[in-house]
Structure 1
Amino acid sequence: MARKYFGTDGVRGEVGQFPITPEFVLKLGYAAGRVLVNHENDSHPTVLIGKDTRISGYMLEAALQAGLTAAGVNVLLTGPLPTPGIAYLTRALRLSAGVMISASHNPYHDNGIKFFAEGGKKLDDAIELEIEAMLEQPMETRPSRELGRARRIDGAAERYIEFCKSTFPNDRDLKGLKLVVDCAHGATYHIAPKVFHELGAEVVTIGGEPTGYNINDKVGATYTKTLQAAVLQHEADYGVALDGDGDRLMMVDRKGQVYDGDQLIYVIAKARAAKGELKGGVVGTVMTNMGMELALQKMAVPFGRAKVGDRYVLEMLHSNGWQVGGEASGHVLCLDKHNTGDGIISCLQVLTSLAELGQDLASVCRDWQPFPQTLINVRLKGQDWKAASTDVLKSAETALQGRGRVVLRPSGTEPVVRVMVEADDHALSEKWAREIAAVIESSAG
């Protein structure tokens, strides 16, 4: 059954527009709470709620809290905390579920609701469908004696900081490294700089002054120009770019060169393979660069492609019994360190890997050259983009046979279709990406 409200990463949209309204989020909290109570046969299961720094977080937090308590669920509130921090605390505090209010890398006027199951794991599709079914039922507040309670908890940030530090080798530190840390004016603003500083690095922080309106605004993992300039200005060794909710990572070297998720995953995999500690292989997605796949093949490291979305990478890792994977967009998974993507922990794994290899980012990533990729986002206006692109897609695949590939996929978080063409020649990838995008766009009339 198709999901009506849940996308690839929870429920997300523009604030004030359905479904990101206080009325809907109130009922979403209630529906999730009733499903939780029904599953646990517990009169008062406990749920953790965190959020990033968007101004709308106050409103949505209150609505979600009201819905959950109306369903008979107790609520713990952390205030601003990264998404992977909510996953960690849900597990560490042995809670029934966790909820993150965030739209990740999107601008401040968007927001979303993401659920974690017991143990801080991604919510199963079956549970999401149960919640959607409950949303279709009338909301009936529990009797007063069955209502849940809510309270704010102290020390959430400090507990998560210590957890991040615990994933770094005890016999190493970051002394002698100068890092520029870009927190995207998001949920890591009071977390990431402390983690790196307490491990010994000299830290320069940018994107660390959230106003409620500036999250991801010309900062963070989706806009690295500000970080590149800061690294050069401060003559830093590396730049660290996180996104608004702290689950993505991009890095910059001392020359201002940007390294995406594919390259960072390769660094981690190479170091582990060299020590004989890479369990199985590496999982990427249909968007992962072919250059990385070929470089892993040279090391005899198995590689698998999942659908786009860290939840699908996670599913394939679990299915294969592997530990390392992720996406070029910056979601990096090291399942022996955390059960979800975590920008801070991923960075610590990259820095550890570089130290073990005795190389810097540039020298490790010189092992392979990325195939040129052209990515164009085409905004949809209700058109049947699959039917419209059939003929041009066949032509492109014929022209690229043996030289590249085409990936068309709808976004799970916004009304666009992503056109990606990869080829051994940039002009060829750009030509076909533009032609396919033009056909899809013109089909809207």
Structure 2
Amino acid sequence: PLAENLNELIQNVRRYHYDIGIACDGDADRLGAVDQHGNFVDSHKIFMILLKYLYEERKRRGAVVKTVSLTSMVDKFCEKNKIEMFETPVGFKYAAKIMSEKNVLIGGEESGGLGTILHIPERDGIFNAMLLMEVMAVRGKSLKQLCDELDEEFGVHKYQRRDVKVTPTVKEQILSACKKKPAKIGNFEVLSINNKDGFKFIVNDGWLLVRASGTEPLIRFYAEGKTISMVNELLDEGMKLK
């Protein structure tokens, strides 16, 4: 579920003054949400709200599994609370494997699929939607307030993804540039590079992930930063890699 596909839901939440809008994909394994003001709440924030609730209110314990494209807020929370964290390539199947083998509190991916210790080691958008509403009820806070708390605790985290069709030649040029381990992405100094899946360039207050599709002439660019302008700049610079 993406904001650009939820105009009708957003309009209805605003028109009828609903507390929350829930959106799942066709087979209901992924979840997106809209707060009472009609603001889209992405999977990164939903994952963090549920993680904090399970750990802080439910007092449940276990490892955390995240794909390499999921928010760095997860890393910060796990480090702060000394929680074992596993990072996997993109794809819930990698998280599910660890969840079936170990005691895992929550595991998920940036595209909206996650599973928790309360349910099966698989994605379930409807169950997770009910759990999200439980958080609101138990904590007595709106979805907007829960999101604001994340900003207060971890700092603002903005995220965008671009799927770009490219020719095989351009695809190879971009990947070759990534393999050269650039010291800078535009004006951003590269602090480290994560090769868990593609090329994830860590910079101050953010990151850029570049992944190529194995089945089509497509490169996916993911970025997180403290402002949306920073995110877009990272994405723009990533697309210029040659």
Same fold (TM over 0.5): yes
Aligned with 1:238 (options 12, 20, 23): 20
Q: Equivalent residue for 1:291?
A: 73
Alpha-carbon distance in structure 2 between the residues aligned to 1:301 and 1:413: 36
Alpha-carbon distance in structure 2 between the residues aligned to 1:272 and 1:413: 38
Aligned with 1:417 (options 215, 219, 234): 219
Alpha-carbon distance in structure 2 between the residues aligned to 1:425 and 1:261: 18
Q: Equivalent residue for 1:399?
A: 189
Distance change >3 Å, CA 350–CA 414, structure 1 → 2: farther
| Corresponding residue SS for 1:308 | coil
Q: Equivalent residue for 1:322?
A: 104
Q: Equivalent residue for 2:175?
A: 386
The alignment status of 1:360 with 2:150, answered yes or no, reads no
TM-aligned CA deviation for residue 335 of structure 1: 4.7
Q: Equivalent residue for 1:433?
A: 235
* Maintained 8 Å contact 1:240/1:252: yes
TM-aligned CA deviation for residue 406 of structure 1: 2.3
Q: Equivalent residue for 1:62?
A: none
Give CA deviations for 1:347-380 in whole Å, capped at 9, x if unaligned: 1111122222232222222232342334322213
TM-aligned CA deviation for residue 236 of structure 1: 1.1
Alpha-carbon distance in structure 1 between the residues aligned to 2:77 and 2:71: 10
Give CA deviations for 1:415-441 in whole Å, capped at 9, x if unaligned: 42111233345444422321221335x
Alpha-carbon distance in structure 1 between the residues aligned to 2:36 and 2:220: 32
The root-mean-square deviation of aligned C-alpha atoms, in Å, is 2.8
The structure whose Rg is larger is 1
Alpha-carbon distance in structure 2 between the residues aligned to 1:222 and 1:335: 31
Aligned with 1:350 (options 112, 117, 132): 132
* Maintained 8 Å contact 2:30/2:112: yes
Alpha-carbon distance in structure 1 between the residues aligned to 2:138 and 2:79: 21
Instruction: Kindly tell me the number of residue pairs found equivalent between the two proteins.
Output: 222
> How does the TM-score come out when normalised to structure 1?
0.45
Q: Equivalent residue for 1:279?
A: 61
Q: Which amino acid aligns with 2:109?
A: E
| Corresponding residue SS for 1:348 | helix
**Unmatched runs of 5 consecutive residues or more in structure 2:** 192-202
| Corresponding residue SS for 2:50 | helix
Aligned with 1:229 (options 1, 8, 11): 11
The alignment status of 1:375 with 2:161, answered yes or no, reads yes
TM-aligned CA deviation for residue 393 of structure 1: 4.2
Q: Equivalent residue for 2:199?
A: none
Distance change >3 Å, CA 309–CA 291, structure 1 → 2: same
Distance change >3 Å, CA 356–CA 425, structure 1 → 2: closer
Alpha-carbon distance in structure 1 between the residues aligned to 2:228 and 2:100: 35
Give CA deviations for 1:258-297 in whole Å, capped at 9, x if unaligned: 1122212222222221245423132221111223432454
Alpha-carbon distance in structure 1 between the residues aligned to 2:61 and 2:214: 30
* Maintained 8 Å contact 1:400/1:423: no
Q: Which amino acid aligns with 2:184?
A: S
Alpha-carbon distance in structure 2 between the residues aligned to 1:236 and 1:412: 42
Q: Equivalent residue for 1:308?
A: 90
Distance change >3 Å, CA 295–CA 410, structure 1 → 2: same
| Structure number with higher strand proportion | 2
Distance change >3 Å, CA 222–CA 312, structure 1 → 2: farther
TM-aligned CA deviation for residue 319 of structure 1: 4.1
Alpha-carbon distance in structure 2 between the residues aligned to 1:423 and 1:363: 21
Q: Equivalent residue for 2:196?
A: none
Identity %: 23
* Maintained 8 Å contact 2:208/2:238: no
| Corresponding residue SS for 1:367 | helix
* Maintained 8 Å contact 1:271/1:356: no
Q: Equivalent residue for 1:100?
A: none
| Corresponding residue SS for 1:262 | helix
Alpha-carbon distance in structure 2 between the residues aligned to 1:325 and 1:338: 11
| Corresponding residue SS for 2:66 | strand
* Maintained 8 Å contact 1:331/1:343: yes
Which stretches of structure 1, 4 residues or longer, exceed 6 Å deviation after superposition? none
Alpha-carbon distance in structure 1 between the residues aligned to 2:62 and 2:131: 18
**Unmatched runs of 5 consecutive residues or more in structure 1:** 1-104, 106-219, 441-445
> How does the TM-score come out when normalised to structure 2?
0.78
Alpha-carbon distance in structure 1 between the residues aligned to 2:57 and 2:140: 13
